């Protein structure tokens, strides 16, 4: 099975991004803007051609601009538009496009507007925001103070948009300001991108494509570009393509049917791409039920994932994070006998923890977790990565165990997603 080099080439609008700032390449902060833009552009049907991270350095930025404009119609930068001395984007862009920096009243007006959003006044003595390249347009920053910069080169049909580095400012300026500008200059070339996602569990990538369904990859390639991606719960299979919404719905139906008729179907936990916490929230709201957790090894992460979602207070009553055995007996009513006989990480304790949460919070469903996140604390029978997930409702209770790879943080992530999936399955159970 040799690798195939032919890739369906996109005819859509190409966008490149340059993230400017020492802090990311020096390991000080993790990027959020690139990953946001990748999701956003995909939804909007723009092709994210390339993403570059560079230092706060003039020659590096100029080279990155050359390379980016070489392959893309639109270049978006993030970072370096603030008031401090390491903010050099404005001056470099001016130089790059051969524009002088001048004092501009129209830019001062945009800055004044940005400040007034926060009930603050701006005067030219505070900073040099109103010194701005000639012929550039100043872009309102809906969540920040520094104005964004834009310039359209009508000869070459290229657009530059420079936004702030702070993620909450960047995401907002992209949605409210940059996208309308991209539409304005390139409306005719916008297409739509879609994906069909099949999410599996309990089967390794190799098993799927080499043993269980050796022709599946080729079969799915008929519909679009196939990728196989490991996720917390298992392997996601993603098929990406361009087209209209109607074409997408049609393809999605065919792909799902194809999988449903394959040997893979029993390993699929979702035909779709909704995060597990959202599925749980929606199901609980639909069923008008309440939920609670008892968490040991995940230390509150499962509860935190549910409360990431607005509206979760309708259905989520609370959790007991029981990191000590004492808490397990005292707050969750786990018997000390059971703890002694079976150990804290056991089917018996997990079941009692779930029942304890069900009782304490008087909810319809409760899920518990007890396991070994590592890096130490494992044994031969219960190694690091071993977790027991308990469940309880008025009608049934019990527990299942799993084994996950990864480090401590990654395991907490996987444990908690598997707990949420267990809760979803419990709520979906027809016998409930």
Nearer to its own copies among residue 152 and residue 344 (C-beta): 344
For its own copies, give the closer residue by CB, 35 or 116: 35
CB 219 within 8 A of CB 258: yes
Residues 6+ apart with CB under 8 A from 272: 197, 199
Provide the 10 A C-beta neighbour count for residue 361: 19
Q: State the minimum distance, in angstroms, from the CB of residue 228 to its own copies.
A: 5
Going by C-beta distance under 8 Å and a sequence separation of 6 or more, which residues neighbour residue 151? 93, 97, 99, 133, 135, 136, 137, 159, 160
Q: Show Cβ contacts of residue 409 under 8 Å, excluding neighbours closer than 6 positions.
A: none
Which CB atom, from 319 or from 422, has the smaller least distance to its own copies? 319
C-alpha dihedral, 411 to 413 to 414 to 419, nearest 10°: 120
Please tell me the distance from the alpha carbon of residue 287 to that of residue 53, in angstroms, as a whole number.
46
Cβ 199 to its own copies shortest distance, Å: 11
Name the residue nearer to its own copies (CB basis): 25 or 184: 25
Cβ at position 87, least distance to its own copies in Å: 7
CB nearer to its own copies: pick between 57 and 135: 57
- Shortest distance in whole angstroms from residue 19 CB to its own copies: 8
Q: Please say which residue, 152 or 252, places its beta carbon nearer to its own copies.
A: 252
Taking the least distance from each CB to its own copies, the nearer of 181 and 331 is 331
- Phi-psi region for residue 428, left (φ > 0), alpha (ψ -120 to 50) or beta? alpha
Q: CA–CA separation, 295 vs 288, rounded Å?
A: 23
CB 108 within 8 A of CB 126: no
CB of 290 closer than 8 Å to CB of 363: yes
Closest to 54 measured CA to CA, from 82, 21, 13: 21
Tell me the residue length of the chain: 432
For the CB of residue 422, give the shortest distance to its own copies in the complex, in Å: 17
Least separation in angstroms between CB 246 and its own copies: 21
Measured from the CB atom, the residue of 92 and 355 that comes closer to its own copies is 92
Task: Cite the DSSP H helix spans in 145-235.
Answer: 167-173, 179-186, 205-206, 216-221
Q: Residue 107: CB partners within 8 Å, gap ≥ 6?
A: 129, 130, 132, 138, 147
Question: What is the nearest approach in angstroms of its own copies to the Cβ of residue 121?
Answer: 13
DSSP 61-124: HHHHHHHHHHH-SEEEEES--SSSTT--HHHHHHHHTT--EEE-HHHHHHHHHHHHTTT----T
Q: How far is the CB of 244 from its own copies (least distance, A)?
A: 19
- Give least dist CB 431 to its own copies, A: 28
Name every residue whose Cβ is closer than 8 Å to that of residue 64 and which is 6 or more positions away in sequence: 18, 52, 54
* Closer of 330 and 340 to its own copies (Cβ): 330
Quote the least distance from Cβ 77 to its own copies, whole Å.
14
| Closer CB to its own copies, 82 or 152, in the complex | 82
Phi and psi at residue 198, in whole multiples of 5°?
Answer: -120, 120
Give the nearest distance from C-beta 366 to its own copies in angstroms. 13
**Alpha-carbon gap, residue 60 to 205, rounded angstroms:** 39
Nearer to its own copies, 77 or 303 (CB): 303
């Amino acid at each position: 099975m040799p690798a195939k080099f032919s890739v369906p080439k996109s005819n859509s609008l190409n966008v490149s991004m340059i993230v400017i700032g020492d802090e990311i390449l020096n390991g000080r902060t993790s990027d959020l803007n690139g990953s946001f833009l990748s999701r956003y552009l995909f939804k909007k049907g723009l092709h994210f051609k390339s993403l570059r991270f560079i230092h706060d350095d003039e020659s590096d930025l100029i080279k990155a601009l050359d390379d980016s404009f070489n392959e893309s119609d639109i270049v978006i930068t993030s970072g370096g538009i603030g008031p401090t001395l390491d903010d050099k984007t404005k001056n470099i862009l001016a130089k790059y496009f051969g524009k002088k920096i001048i004092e501009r009243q129209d830019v001062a007006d945009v800055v004044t507007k940005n400040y007034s959003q926060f009930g603050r006044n701006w005067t030219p003595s505070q900073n040099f925001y109103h010194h701005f390249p000639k012929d550039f347009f100043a872009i309102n920053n809906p969540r920040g103070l520094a104005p964004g910069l834009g310039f359209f080169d009508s000869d070459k049909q290229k657009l530059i948009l420079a936004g702030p580095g702070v993620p909450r400012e960047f995401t907002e300026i992209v949605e409210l300001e940059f996208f309308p500008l991209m539409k304005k200059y390139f409306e005719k070339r916008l297409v739509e991108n879609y994906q069909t996602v099949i999410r599996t569990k309990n089967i390794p990538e190799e098993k799927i494509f080499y043993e269980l369904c050796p022709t599946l990859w080729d079969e799915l390639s008929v519909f679009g570009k196939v990728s196989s991606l490991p996720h917390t719960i298992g392997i996601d299979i993603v098929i990406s393509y361009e087209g209209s919404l109607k074409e997408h719905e049609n393809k999605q139906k065919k792909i799902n049917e194809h999988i449903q008729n394959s040997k893979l179907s029993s390993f699929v936990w979702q035909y779709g791409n909704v995060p597990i916490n959202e599925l749980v929230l929606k199901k609980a709201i639909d069923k008008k039920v309440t939920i609670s957790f008892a968490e040991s090894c995940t230390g509150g992460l499962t509860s935190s994932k549910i409360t990431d979602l607005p509206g979760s207070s309708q259905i989520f009553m609370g959790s007991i994070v029981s990191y000590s055995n004492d808490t397990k007996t005292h707050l969750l009513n786990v018997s000390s006998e059971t703890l002694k006989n079976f150990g804290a990480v056991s089917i018996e304790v997990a079941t009692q923890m779930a029942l304890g949460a069900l009782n304490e919070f008087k909810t319809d469903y409760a899920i518990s977790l007890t396991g070994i996140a590592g890096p130490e604390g494992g044994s031969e029978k219960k190694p690091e990565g071993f977790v027991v997930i308990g469940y309880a409702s008025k009608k049934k209770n019990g527990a299942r165990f799993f084994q996950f790879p990864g480090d401590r943080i990654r395991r907490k992530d996987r444990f908690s997603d598997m707990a949420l999936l267990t809760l979803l399955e419990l709520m979906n159970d027809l016998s409930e």
